[in-house]
Each structure stands twice: as structure tokens, then as C-alpha cells.
Chain A
Amino acid sequence: MYTLGIDIGSTTSKCVLLEDGNKIIATSLVVAGIGTNGGIKCMNEVLENAKVKREEIAYIIATGYGRKNFSEANGELSELSCHAKGVHFADPEVRTIIDIGGQDAKVIRLNSKGILENFLMNDKCAAGTGRFLDVMATILQVPIAEFETQARSTKEPAKISSTCTVFAESEVISQLANGSKVECVIAGICNSVASRVAGLAKRVGVKEEVFMSGGVARNGGVRDALERELQVSIKYSEHSQLMGALGAALFAYEKIGAAE
């Protein structure tokens, strides 16, 4: 039996197709989030990859910012619950998840059964989110994908404030004007995101093991900085962006179980 989880975020849509609640058959990711046809595209892609028809899916759960507007779904759940579920399935040792997405940052604590114990979301500010990195990448004209190598290439990060994206933007410009090297500024930017998110994590209480998910998790510069800030090692998976969708697919399977 197939269940599908779809995570429609602010900038991307992700799908995970699950068989019998424990086997991942296919996944998909399209760079188009809420307010676009990204959700449908993403679902069609996953179905095509798996050679499975829409009618064969027993239950669909949507999550993410666009969860309310996906008409194909049978139900919807918050992305925090789904993230916790997905990460627990992938790695049952994890107790803290730090999820930095395009719009916001979240810290989730779960117990040994994978049940959400506590969570915190950032306030309404781009600082400490993927958006902050996007703004900085545009100013520096360096693709985000290069942030990791650049940040790792220096031992002298510049000091960039973590309180406000707008202030940080002018700080970056004046750092550059004062002759700071681009890699130092990039390392400073990664530190800035990390220090903001670390503050959030400490408020929830960090329990090991710690897993990082969301689009920003791909950036090793931020991961390194966060490990230093929190003094813990941080796990990461190539598939971390898919955890919300995976959790949704798992919940979808449970829903059917409950109904039967």
C-alpha cells in the first residue's frame, strides 16, 4: 500500500512516496513552493519516478507552509510534527532537530519514541534563516553553494551582526569597503546565522543527538559554525530536505492504520 507525503515550503516542494509505511519508493523535489503549481508538479514527478498511478495512493498528507492549499491531500499536519516523525524514522537516536528553511528557523525536541516534546520557531525576522543567506549571496554575488568551501577556507571570520538582516547587509558592505576578504565575510555570515539559531536552540534545550535539516543544512559553513556555537556535533543527511515529506507519508500510513 502506498502513502504520499508532500511538503510545500516557501521556495521548494518535496514528495516522498512510501510503501507499507516503511519503504521509500521514490522522492522528488521541485524548486517552486507555495503559491505555484510546484506541489502538483512535485507529486506528478514522484509518481512518474515510481511508475505508480495517483489512484494507487491510499492517503496523502500535506505539510509545510502550503499545506492548507493542496487540494489533492486527504489531510494536513504541521511541518514540525512531520519533521520530527521523518527524522526519527531516518535516525531514531536524534533528540534535537534544528531546521532552517527559506523563511524561518525551528528547533524541535523529540523523545525516544519520536514524539514531539517541545519546539520553538524564530520570530518574524529574516535573520537566522535561508532568506538572510540569499540576501547576502546577492550582495556578494557568490552562489550559496560556494559558501561552504569559502567559509572553510579562512580562520578569520568577519564580525557580522545577527540581529537584523537590514543592518547586517550594510555591515557586509562596509566590511567589503574596508577591504575584508570575501571568504572572511562569508564565514562571518555563516556565524551570524548560527549564533541566531543557537540562541533559539538553547531556549528549547539541546539534547544530543542533534540533527540539522531544511535547505540551509546543506551549507557546511553554517553547520560548522553551529557545532562550534552549541559545542555538539551535528548530524546531517543529504536527504535532510525530505524529512518533512517523509514524516507526512508516515503519518498518512498511520491514518490508514487507524481507520482500518
Chain B
Amino acid sequence: MAALQDILQEFHRIAASPQEQMKHYLAQNKKIVVCSPVYTPEEVIHSMGLLPFGTWGTDMEIKEAKAYFPAFICSVMQSILELGIKGAFDGASAIVIPSLCDSLKCLGQNWKYAVPGIEFVPMTYPQNRNTTYGKEFTKAGYQRVIADLERITGETFEDEKLHKSIEIYNAHNQAMREFSEYAKNYSVITAADRNAVFKSAFFLEKSEHTALINQLLEALKETELADVKKIRIVTSGILADAKELLAILNDNNIQVVADDIAQESRQYRVDCPIAATALDRLAEKFATMNNCSVLYDVNKGRASYLTELVQENKADGIIYALTKFCDPEEFDYVVVKKICEEKEIPLLLIEVDRQMVNYEQVRTAVQTFSEMLG
């Protein structure tokens, strides 16, 4: 048991100290490339011998970034810019920002002026991903990233090396899925623990993270399943990593049995398949990714995907953590709400924000939801 708690503590430590992690890698002469949400071709960066370092911003008061953004825009990327301006990524060689939502496009454009010391590399994705021309477009996006990174860092790209990195990333995806599958039944894994495992993945080289996950899985396998009745919830949204929110879930006897959170499982659902070149493998992966608000889908399959998650995991309901001012998620909520009503799946909408200081309303809503389901 002690071992399990020690490993969990390690995940918490890493998740809580991205800057320490950066320093640690910089001290090893690693060149760091910051990766912005929602999906960046980390494998490409990894294969060039660079360290992909993810960021989803942080809970903070936003001051400097306000000079670049209107008030009603999502705080995820406002806080990324704020961190950039305040020097949190100093030492990094570049930042890759994808074009997956309008806010992210603004982030890229503003970054150039607000943080001139860290070069902005755009990753432009097509809207129609799963067509021959769509995949070509995606590949062209990767090639642009490669060319920029070669120029900025002096490192070079080789398709052969990308194959190797893809294997590392596929193995990591697999480990993350396995963890999620395991964690749902272990009441010792709190919502905060679960989140720390996912969050830390952005601040560690992936094979190191996989090794840590495997240790955790070993420790879990040796842990007896406790017979505790919990309220089984599927979470959905861009992120649900606020300490207060996670504590509220815990206080209300909630077990996260699966998630559809962009910062969490959405990253790890799809592996790179076999294809002609390594870059094709990556483009294929992006083409088949789905069920996410920033991945264009006329049929909005995410809604039924969510109900399947509920059924498969015998969940009691869904908590939809809506990031304030996130248009893609706001649009999807309507479809999700409709299908949940049809299928009589209890659904709770809560609004989350990186600048939130008062969680009392969320507390009351979550408590009521758990009383309703309990």
C-alpha cells in the first residue's frame, strides 16, 4: 500500500511542478518544445531529439495577457499566454500551437508579439481529416512544423526515427488506457490522483511516464479491491483539473470511472496505425481521431460516444465540465444534453474557469447531483 501511495505521490509532485520539470530537462541539455492544447504532433518533436512539453495553462489570476485578449475568451489559452509572458517557459526553444479552435488561432498570433523570445510554430490542421486530401493537408502541416523546428533548433528529422517515437507514444497510449480501466474500480484512486496521473504525462518524456504508469499498475494489481459504494461518474470537457473541483468530487463520494476530457483520455484513445511512412502513420491517426469538440464532425458522434461510456462503465451519470467561453464545448453541450435526456442519463453541467476562486456553487451543484444519484 505504501508503495502505491508513494507512486501516486510522485505523479502529484510532477503534475504540480512543471517548472521544476523544465529545469530538470534543461539541466540535461535537452531542447524543449512547448506543446499547446489540444493536439500537437508530439511524436514528430520527440523523434527529432527534442522534448515535447505540454501545457494547458494553470489556475491563476490573468493580468498581462489581458492586454492581448478580449474579456470573454477562454482562460485556458489566456493563462498559457500569461505564463509565457511571465517567463514560465523561458529556456524553451519554441512553442507549437495548433489551429484547432478560434481562440487557439488568436493565441498563436498574439504569442509572436507577447513572447518574442520563444518562437511560435503553427500546426495547421484540416477540417475534413479523413479524406486523401485531408491527410495530405495534415502532412503538410507536420512538414511545416518540421521545417520550422529544424531551422530553430538545428536538429533534423528522419522518418525512421519517427517510427521509433511512434512506438513509444503508442505504448504510452496503451498504458494510459489501461490505467483508466484499472483506476475506475479502485476507490483508493481519488479524482485528484487520477488527474495527477494524466496531467503529469505532459511534463515527462513519454517513455519515462510509461515506466511510472507500469509501476503504478503493478502496485494496483497487488492492492485489494475495497468494497465501497461510490457514485460512478463519467467526466467530460476540456479539462477538470482544478484542485477545488477534484476535492469536491471526492467529498461527495464520486468515483471517476471514465472520462471524455481533452486533457485526459481524449489524448490517448487512438494509436498510430501501420502506413507507408511514419508521417503517414501520424496523419492516419489524426484522421481517425474523433469524439472531440475541436475535431470537426457533422454527426456530433461525441454525444452517443458519451452515452456508450456511461453504459460500458456502469456509470450513474455524467458531469460536463464546461470551460467558460469555450465555444466548441458549448456547441457540443446541446447535443449531449439532448441525447442524455432521451436515454435518461443524469447529466450535470458545471462551469469551470482557470480564474475561478469561489467553488461554492459548484460544490452545491455536485453535492445535489450526488444526493440525487446516491
Contact = CB atoms under 8 A, between A and B. Distances in A.
Interface string B330-374: 000000000000000010010100000010110011011001100
Interface string B168-198: 0000000000000000000000000000000
B351 A81 contact: no
A78 B361 contact: no
Given A104-B361, A121-B365, A124-B361, A78 B351 contact: no
A116 B371 CA distance: 9
A20 interface: no
Contacts, number: 32
Nearest to B358: A124
Contact of B364 (A80, A116, A117): A80
A79 B364 contact: yes
A78 B367 contact: yes
A119 B361 contact: no
A65 B360 contact: yes
Given A121-B365, A123-B351, A78 B360 contact: no
A121 B372 contact: no
A77 interface: yes
Contacts of A118: 346
A81 B361 contact: no
B361 A121 contact: yes
Contacts of A115: 372
Contacts of A80: 364, 368
A104 B364 CA distance: 11
Contacts of B349: 120
A97 to B, nearest CB: 12
Interface string A44-85: 000000000000000000000100000000000111110000
Contacts of B371: 77-78, 81, 116
Contacts of B367: 77-78
A188 B365 CA distance: 30
Nearest to A203: B337
B351 A116 contact: no
Contacts of B358: 124
Contact size class for B?
10 to 19
Contact of A116 (B360, B361, B365, B372): B372
B360 A81 contact: no
Contacts of A81: 368, 371-372
Interface string A100-137: 00001000000000011111110110000000000000
- Chain A at the B interface: mostly helix, strand, loop or mixed? mixed
A67 to B, nearest CB: 9
Contacts of B361: 104, 121, 124
Contacts of A77: 367, 371
Interface in B65-123: none
Contacts of B351: 123-124
Nearest to B344: A117
Nearest to B360: A65
Nearest to B367: A78
B253 to A, nearest CB: 13
The winner among B346, B349, B360, B372 for most chain A CB atoms within 10 A is B372
Nearest to B351: A123
B4 to A, nearest CB: 31
B368 A119 contact: yes
Nearest to A123: B351
A65 B361 CA distance: 9
B369 to A, nearest CB: 8
B51 to A, nearest CB: 39
A104 B368 CA distance: 15
A120 B337 CA distance: 13
A124 B351 CA distance: 9
A159 to B, nearest CB: 24
Nearest to B373: A116
Contacts of A104: 361
A204 to B, nearest CB: 10
A206 B130 CA distance: 42
A123 B351 CA distance: 8
B71 to A, nearest CB: 12
Contacts of A124: 351, 358, 361
A65 B360 CA distance: 8
The winner among A77, A115, A119 for most chain B CB atoms within 10 A is A119
Contacts of A65: 360, 364
Nearest to B366: A78
* 3 cross-chain pairs, A with B, having the tightest CB-CB distances, nearest first: A78-B368, A80-B368, A78-B367
19 contacts: A65-B360, A65-B364, A77-B371, A78-B364, A78-B368, A79-B364, A80-B364, A80-B368, A81-B368, A81-B371, A81-B372, A115-B372, A116-B368, A116-B371, A118-B346, A119-B365, A120-B349, A123-B351, A124-B358
Interface of B: 346, 349, 351, 358, 360-361, 364-365, 367-368, 371-372
Given A65-B360, A80-B368, A121-B365, 15 more contacts: A77-B367, A77-B371, A78-B364, A78-B367, A78-B368, A79-B364, A81-B371, A81-B372, A115-B372, A116-B372, A119-B365, A121-B361, A121-B364, A123-B351, A124-B358
